[in-house]
Every structure is written in structure tokens, then in C-alpha cells.
């Protein structure tokens, strides 16, 4: 075997690309060079001990290791501090200070005042909220309060607008199935209204009668409680609800340039507490089956772009491209935010790279982009971005938890009316669970629509596809980020 070349470890980093941990390491490096405090003790040529500034008597060991990886000599740094163990691939302040002392890293320039201020805000808690205003000068919170007042009257109008838009595109429905399709649109509107009201089937009878008497709902009489159970189990409503979910995203198409992907368990929410009492926190019975909803939402408005359902045992990464391909005809997606479960070369990173979408997915500690052959450029670009420009990466990835907030909000609003009685067949997903969950996501989009109507002054009519919300004045992300 030939002699290995010397490892090429030195690289430069612009000061503007340093994250908060690297800035702490830079300050620690300057403190060590100034000799103001004894913070570093050299043990050997490859090992050093750093004393903690917060806890007296606590120290961390930093070790420099040269390894042979597939015929190339590489250098790795390991630290025993909790931050390094948690972050894995990222440098803690001790590892970065050691790299600076050994000359493996050179920082070009100095961190500016805004960067240091942002670092202090992150350490203190959260950054200040954006100062946004509605079209008429009101604050956003004032506009949101006014939107909540309008929900009771505006959401039924939007539901009827959805029905009218769908009926206009299916004008031959009467001749196709003896008026069945038109009747299905009325059923779908009735179910969505029940989800939006958040009332029981008994309590909804009075609400339906009120809307019928006022001429605001196309029913001749209020449906019986058992009738609603039959409708929620009707498979003919599923494609209509899926199409209506897509229709509710039309007004948001110029406001969203980034999407967040994740999955959540949404079935049997009403019985979750009883199962917890009877079977403990982890229900592992062979007959226990759950449905998983794979969701793609917008970063700016949290609009639900696309939804796909699968069995609970299916991995999240298997369905991401279906969501993206479904949303791309309506949205110009530039960034995709997801967690490490979606770090797959051939099924995710490569295909979205071919669609000109930039992946914002954290890189695992032992994930090696050099071994990726089919989509080497896409994987190398992501690894370099995550490793060498962490501040820029984190500025976008910090928005990924917004989808968890959407799931939490949906499940809080769903409390009290997760009433479907459907059961999954062998190897299939319950139709009732799918229809009810689709109604819930449509409800979330309708709430978002009413809120933006109040903020922008644009009244939405789904029969007019040319009517949409304007781009945000202060977007969270820019197309050239």
C-alpha cells in the first residue's frame, strides 16, 4: 500500500458565516492568546484540556485524531463537553478554539455588531417579533383579533365558494352519475362546516337549520346524526375533499417560496386518553393501528399545501416526493425544510435537486457526502452548507418547528369533535379517518384565509383563480437567501 498523503485540514471561514458556537470559540481563542485567564492546558501534541468558565472544577478534553478513511488521511476533533455530544457534527466552542490555535481554521474578518447582537438575543431566549402591519395601518395582532370575530360568518361563505367553484368545473356531473357528484359536493360542504363549528352532531342540527333558514346553506333540511356518520365513511367524498384542499391553497401561491415537511399521527384522537389509561403510554398491541398524515406546509403562512395518508409503520421519507409533486403546480418552492429522517440521497436529495429545490436538512454526524455517487453535487452542496456556513443554514432551518405548532393547533381545535366511527380494513386505511382529517386541514386553510383577508384587505372567491394575496412586505425568507 502506498504512503498516504498529508491531510489537508486547513480551510478559511468568513466571519459572517460563523454561528454562535463558533463565535464563542473565536472569543475563547482570543482570550487564550491574550493570557488573561488560564483556560487551556496542553496535555500532549494531540490532546488539550479546557477549563469551564461557569463551573469551577469542570474541564473538557479536546483530542485531535488523524484517521485513514478510504485511502485518504483526515483529521477529526473530539470534545467531551455536552454541547459537542449533542451537536455531533457541529463544532463546539472548545473544538473551534482548538482548530484556531492549531492553524487548521482561519477566520477572515471580524463578526459585525449585528451578528454579535443576534448571538446575545439567541442566548437570552428568542429574537423580537417582526413589526408587521395590516393594509389599513392596524397592527397584526389587531387584525388577527378582528379575523377571529369574522370566523363564524366568513368560513361558511368560503365553504360555499369552494362548492360553487367545484360545481362550475364539474358542470356535467348531473349527466355522469345521476346528480351524485353534485350531491357529494353538498355532503362535503356539510362535513367541513361541522368540523369548523367544533360541535357534536346533535348540536349541529340547530346550526344547520339556522343557516338553511337564512338561505346561506344549500340543504333542504338538517341531516340526521347517523346520516353524518354515513357521509364521513363515503369513499366518494375523499377525492372531492382532496381537490378542495388544493383549491384552498390557490390564494397563497405568491406568498410561499419554502415548504416544511413532516408527519403526524392523527387518527383516534378522541380515544387516546382511554388507551393511555388501559394500555400505558406505548400501545403496542398487534391490533392497534394508527394512521399517519404526511403534510407539506408553507413557511410564511402555514398553509397546508398537500397531504398524503399512510399506515403508521410507513417511513416518512417514502412519501415526500408525492407531496412535493402535488404542490409544485401551485407553488414555486425554492427551499424544503425537514428533519434528519428525510436525509436520503436517491429518493429525496437528488430528486428535489433536479427540481431546483434547495434542501434544508441537518446532516448527520457520520453522514459522508463523499460516498454519494449518483447525486454527489447535491449531497456535497448540502454538507458544505451545513458544515461551513452554519449561521446561514440555521437562519432558515430555525423555521422548521412551525409545522409542529400547526399540528398542535389542529389537534387542539379538533378536541371534542373527533367523532368518526370508521375502522380500517385489512391492509387499508379507514375512509372515515381520511375524510375527517382532510376536513380538519381544510379548516386550517380556511382560518388562515380569513386571517389574511383581514390583513391584506383582499376578499377571496375560489371561483376567481386570478384573485390571490399579495407577497408579504417583510418575508421570513427571500428567494436569493
> Is residue 264 exposed (0-12), middle (13-18) or buried (19+ Cβ within 10 Å)?
middle
pLDDT tens-digit map of 466-481: 899 999 888 888 755 6
| Rg of the chain, C-alpha, whole Å | 27
Whether the CB-CB separation of 359 and 378 falls below 8 Å is answered with yes
- What is the β-pairing status of strands 105-108 and 40-44? unpaired
- Is the pLDDT at 420 greater than 80? The verdict is no
With vertex at residue 22, the alpha carbon angle to CA 18 and CA 28, rounded to the nearest 5 degrees, is 135
Instruction: Please state, in angstroms and rounded to a whole number, the distance separating the CA atoms of residues 28 and 62.
Output: 14
In the block, which residue shows the cell 400505558? 280
The pLDDT value recorded for residue 2 is 42
Strands lying side by side in the sheet with 40-44: 40-44, 47-51, 59-69, 72-79
pLDDT tens-digit map of 134-183: 989 999 999 999 999 999 889 999 999 999 999 888 876 655 444 555 57
Enumerate the domain spans of the chain: 11-124, 140-232, 248-456
- Is the pLDDT at 329 greater than 70? The verdict is yes
With vertex at residue 346, the alpha carbon angle to CA 342 and CA 347, rounded to the nearest 5 degrees, is 50
- Is the pLDDT at 419 greater than 70? The verdict is no
Average the pLDDT over 235-242 and give the result: 92
Instruction: Please state, in angstroms and rounded to a whole number, the distance separating the CA atoms of residues 461 and 154.
Output: 11
- Is the pLDDT at 272 greater than 90? The verdict is no
Q: What is the mean pLDDT of the chain?
A: 84
Question: For 116, left (φ over 0), alpha (ψ -120 to 50), or beta?
Answer: alpha
Per-residue pLDDT band at 85 (split at 50, 70, 90): confident
- Is the pLDDT at 283 greater than 50? The verdict is yes
Q: Is the dihedral of CA 302, 303, 304, 305 positive or negative?
A: negative
The pLDDT value recorded for residue 326 is 95
The pLDDT value recorded for residue 240 is 93
Alpha carbons within 13 A on the beta-carbon side of 358: 18
Contacts 24+ apart (CB under 8 A), 163-170: 163/188, 163/189, 163/218, 164/462, 164/463, 165/247, 165/462, 165/463, 166/240, 166/243, 166/244, 166/247, 168/463
The alpha helices in 48-139, defined as continuous H runs, are: 82-87, 93-102, 113-124
Whether the CB-CB separation of 309 and 437 falls below 8 Å is answered with yes
The pLDDT value recorded for residue 192 is 92
Give pTM, 2 decimals. Answer: 0.85
Residue 23, Cα to own-chain centre: how many angstroms? 28
- Is the pLDDT at 290 greater than 60? The verdict is yes
The pLDDT value recorded for residue 48 is 93
Instruction: Please state, in angstroms and rounded to a whole number, the distance separating the CA atoms of residues 469 and 300.
Output: 12
Instruction: Please state, in angstroms and rounded to a whole number, the distance separating the CA atoms of residues 434 and 420.
Output: 10
In the block, which residue shows the cell 430528486? 351
- Is the pLDDT at 17 greater than 90? The verdict is no
For helices 180-197 and 237-247, what crossing angle results, to 10°? 60
In the block, which residue shows the cell 346550526? 207
The pLDDT value recorded for residue 416 is 42
Average the pLDDT over 216-235 and give the result: 83
Amino acid at each position: 500500500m502506498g504512503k498516504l498523503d498529508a491531510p489537508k485540514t486547513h480551510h478559511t471561514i468568513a466571519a459572517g458565516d460563523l454561528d454562535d458556537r463558533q463565535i464563542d470559540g473565536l472569543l475563547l481563542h482570543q482570550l487564550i492568546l491574550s493570557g488573561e485567564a488560564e483556560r487551556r492546558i496542553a496535555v500532549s501534541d494531540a490532546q488539550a484540556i479546557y477549563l469551564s468558565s461557569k463551573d469551577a472544577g469542570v474541564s473538557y478534553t479536546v483530542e485531535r485524531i488523524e484517521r485513514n478513511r478510504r485511502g485518504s488521511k483526515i483529521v477529526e476533533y473530539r470534545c467531551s463537553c455536552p454541547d459537542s455530544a449533542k451537536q455531533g457534527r457541529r463544532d463546539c466552542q472548545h473544538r473551534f478554539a482548538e482548530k484556531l490555535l492549531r492553524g487548521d481554521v482561519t477566520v477572515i474578518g471580524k463578526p459585525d455588531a449585528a451578528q454579535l447582537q443576534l448571538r446575545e438575543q439567541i442566548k437570552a431566549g428568542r429574537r423580537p417579533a417582526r413589526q408587521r402591519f395590516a393594509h389599513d395601518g392596524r397592527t397584526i395582532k389587531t387584525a388577527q383579533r378582528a379575523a377571529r370575530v369574522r370566523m363564524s360568518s366568513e368560513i361558511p361563505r368560503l365553504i360555499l365558494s369552494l362548492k360553487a367553484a367545484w360545481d362550475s368545473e364539474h358542470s356535467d356531473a348531473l349527466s355522469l352519475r345521476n346528480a351524485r357528484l353534485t350531491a357529494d359536493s353538498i355532503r362535503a360542504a356539510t362535513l367541513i362546516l361541522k368540523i369548523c363549528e367544533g360541535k357534536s352532531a346533535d348540536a349541529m342540527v340547530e346550526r344547520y337549520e339556522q343557516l338553511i333558514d337564512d338561505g346561506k346553506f344549500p340543504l333542504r333540511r338538517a341531516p340526521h346524526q347517523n346520516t353524518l356518520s354515513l357521509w364521513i365513511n363515503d369513499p366518494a367524498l375523499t377525492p372531492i375533499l382532496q381537490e378542495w384542499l388544493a383549491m384552498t391553497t390557490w390564494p397563497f401561491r405568491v406568498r410561499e417560496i419554502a415548504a416544511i415537511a413532516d408527519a403526524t399521527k392523527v387518527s383516534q384522537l378522541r380515544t387516546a386518553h382511554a388507551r393511555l389509561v388501559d394500555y400505558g403510554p406505548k400501545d403496542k398491541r398487534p391490533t392497534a393501528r394508527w394512521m399517519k398524515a404526511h403534510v407539506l406546509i408553507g413557511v410564511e403562512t402555514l398553509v397546508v399545501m398537500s397531504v398524503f395518508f399512510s399506515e403508521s409503520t410507513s417511513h416518512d421519507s417514502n412519501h415526500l416526493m408525492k407531496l412535493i409533486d402535488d404542490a409544485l403546480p401551485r407553488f414555486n418552492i425554492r427551499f424544503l425544510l425537514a428533519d434528519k429522517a428525510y436525509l436520503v440521497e436517491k429518493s429525496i436529495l437528488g430528486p428535489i435537486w433536479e427540481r431546483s429545490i434547495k434542501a434544508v436538512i441537518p446532516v448527520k454526524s457520520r453522514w459522508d457526502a463523499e460516498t454519494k455517487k449518483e447525486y454527489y453535487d447535491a449531497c456535497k452542496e448540502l454538507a458544505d452548507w451545513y458544515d461551513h456556513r452554519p449561521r446561514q443554514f440555521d437562519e432558515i432551518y430555525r423555521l422548521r418547528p412551525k409545522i409542529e405548532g400547526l399540528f398542535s393547533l389542529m389537534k387542539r381545535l379538533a378536541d371534542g369533535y373527533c367523532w368518526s366511527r370508521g375502522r380500517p380494513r385489512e391492509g387499508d386505511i379507514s375512509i372515515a379517518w381520511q375524510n375527517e382529517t382532510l376536513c380538519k386541514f381544510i379548516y386550517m386553510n380556511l382560518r388562515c384565509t380569513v386571517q389574511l383577508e383581514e390583513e391584506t384587505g383582499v376578499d377571496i372567491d375560489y371561483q376567481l383563480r386570478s384573485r390571490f394575496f399579495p407577497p408579504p412586505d417583510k418575508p421570513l425568507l427571500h428567494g436569493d437567501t
